[in-house]
């Protein structure tokens, strides 16, 4: 066993021991989710866009994970909380989240018994995935079928490091929140009009010279209505010597989303609209070469955490319309259409085309903790690359413990 693996093993053992000790004073829960199956995908188009894959895959409906969460009463209805959550690939046992032991969640905070509000410090999601996950018919999963294919900040796998979040519930069913990240530590790139430049993802805690992020959100959930709105803004490191002048003198990356879901009883209808300006907060499965032409990596397409790209000329509008149709208490079908329509003039997107995805899925619950699923999706112009198509077909088994 290597020193790094030995350290990780020791940390896991410490976490399990700590959870037992915490349980003596408050409550602690060890939990997890395992999701695996078979995926088939083809990606075709002009030039180098001709790829396919067939094989086992992990975390298609929901990222496979394990974690520990706990709570201790402090008196007067207040509680101390924590959550540590690790993601993994069950096909080979490897850690995800760029090798972070607790890459999905790692935070400590406060909450109150009679409120959905909270205060948290650490690595966690922004408000877009928190509020739009229950609105998305695919609930943030199944690759290019999910809402995040067109709305980057809604990606449930995207977590921001060094984030402070405050959520309030001023009225029953109504929540509003704000957060600030001193450095989200996502892979970050600048596009200067001719080529992409890597800004890395490190956190310089000795100064304020870091990429920074603001996340805001509001939701209303009462009766058949579920409404949500989010706003995310990323500011570049102004002291970075690699920062191009076209980005230093332009606006920050901004993304907003509004949407909702209405439950008619027999069927649930979901819809959302959004807009990106100045780049993208989460570019999924698309990478930029040194000549500025986008390429698609089929191995990461539709899964995992994307990147931050600053490009003053990259602007696009996003749309989602979908439904969830329960057959009975244990089975349902769900479907959606998403669109990302380019409105900018970025040279990083040669032969630009509007991206559309048409998806449908089915889920059957054996029990409250175990289900099977099958889904398929067809996308045109993925990553805004004109005359390119992506076909996706998956089936798998998901179990919670």
The model's confidence at residue 71, banded by pLDDT at 50, 70 and 90, is very high
- The two three-digit tokens of residue 97, written as one number: 């989240």
The model's confidence at residue 305, banded by pLDDT at 50, 70 and 90, is low
Domains of the chain from N-terminus onward:
3-400 (2.40.160.10)
Q: Which residue did the predictor score with more confidence, 156 or 356?
A: 356
% of the chain exceeding 90 in pLDDT = 57
Q: Which of 20, 8, 26 has the alpha carbon at shortest distance from 88?
A: 8
Statement: residue 89 has pLDDT above 80: yes
pLDDT, one tens digit per residue, over 13-46 is 445 554 455 445 678 999 999 999 999 988 887 7
Interatomic CA distance for residues 122 and 68, integer angstroms: 15
Q: What is the DSSP string of 73-141?
A: EEETTEEEEEEEEEEEETTTTEE-GGG-TT-SEEEEEEEETT-S-EEEEEEE--HHHHHHTTTSTTTT-
Statement: residue 301 has pLDDT above 60: no
Q: List, in sequence order, every beta strand (DSSP E) within 182-296.
A: 188-191, 196-200, 212-222, 225-235, 253-263, 268-277, 279-283, 286-288, 294-296
**In the 8-state DSSP scheme, what is residue 241?**
T
pLDDT score, position 49: 65
Interatomic CA distance for residues 316 and 152, integer angstroms: 11
Parallel, antiparallel, or unpaired: how do β-strands 307-310 and 188-191 relate? parallel
pLDDT score, position 121: 98
Interatomic CA distance for residues 344 and 317, integer angstroms: 10
pLDDT score, position 196: 74
Model pTM score: 0.88
Contact 335, 357 (CB under 8 A): no
Contact 47, 350 (CB under 8 A): no
The model's confidence at residue 383, banded by pLDDT at 50, 70 and 90, is confident
pLDDT score, position 375: 97
pLDDT, one tens digit per residue, over 190-241 is 887 777 788 877 777 766 688 899 999 999 999 999 999 999 999 988 888 8
The model's confidence at residue 175, banded by pLDDT at 50, 70 and 90, is very high
Statement: residue 367 has pLDDT above 80: yes
The model's confidence at residue 48, banded by pLDDT at 50, 70 and 90, is low
Interatomic CA distance for residues 101 and 92, integer angstroms: 16
pLDDT score, position 10: 47
Parallel, antiparallel, or unpaired: how do β-strands 118-124 and 27-44 relate? unpaired
């Amino acid at each position: 066993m290597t020193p790094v693996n030995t350290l990780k093993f020791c940390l896991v053992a410490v976490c399990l021991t700590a959870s037992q000790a915490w349980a003596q004073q408050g409550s602690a829960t060890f939990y997890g989710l395992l999701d695996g199956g078979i995926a088939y995908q083809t990606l075709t188009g002009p030039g180098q866009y001709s790829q396919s894959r067939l094989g086992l895959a992990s975390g298609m409906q929901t990222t496979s994970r394990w974690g520990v969460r706990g709570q201790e009463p402090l008196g007067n209805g207040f509680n101390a909380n924590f959550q540590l959550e690790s993601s993994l690939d069950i096909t080979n046992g490897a850690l995800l989240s760029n090798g972070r032991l607790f890459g999905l969640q790692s935070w400590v905070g406060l909450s109150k018994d009679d409120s959905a509000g909270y205060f948290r410090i650490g690595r966690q999601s922004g408000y877009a995935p928190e509020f739009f996950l229950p609105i998305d018919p695919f609930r943030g999963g199944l690759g290019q079928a999910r809402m995040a294919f067109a709305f980057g900040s809604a990606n449930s796998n995207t977590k921001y490091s060094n984030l402070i979040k405050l959520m309030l519930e001023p009225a029953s069913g109504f929540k509003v929140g704000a957060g600030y990240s001193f450095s989200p530590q996502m892979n970050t790139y600048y596009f200067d009009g001719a080529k992409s430049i890597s800004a890395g993802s490190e956190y310089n805690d000795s100064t304020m010279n870091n990429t920074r992020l603001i996340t805001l959100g509001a939701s209303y959930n009462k009766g058949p209505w579920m409404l949500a709105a989010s706003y995310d803004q990323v500011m570049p490191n102004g002291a970075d010597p690699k920062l191009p002048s076209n980005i230093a003198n332009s606006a920050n990356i901004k993304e907003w989303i509004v949407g909702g879901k209405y439950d008619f009883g027999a069927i649930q209808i979901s819809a959302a609209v959004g807009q990106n300006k100045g780049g993208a907060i989460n570019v999924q499965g698309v990478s930029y070469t040194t000549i500025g032409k986008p390429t698609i990596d089929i191995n990461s397409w539709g899964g995992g955490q994307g990147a931050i790209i600053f490009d003053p000329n990259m602007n696009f509008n996003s749309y989602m319309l979908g439904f969830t149709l329960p057959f009975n208490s244990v089975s349902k079908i769900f479907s959606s259409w998403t669109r990302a329509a380019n409105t900018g003039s970025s040279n990083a997107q040669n032969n630009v085309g509007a991206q559309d995805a048409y998806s449908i899925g089915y889920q059957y619950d054996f029990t409250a903790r175990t289900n099977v699923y099958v889904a398929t999706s067809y996308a045109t112009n993925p990553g805004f690359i004109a005359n390119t198509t992506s076909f996706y077909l998956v089936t798998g088994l998901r179990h919670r413990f």
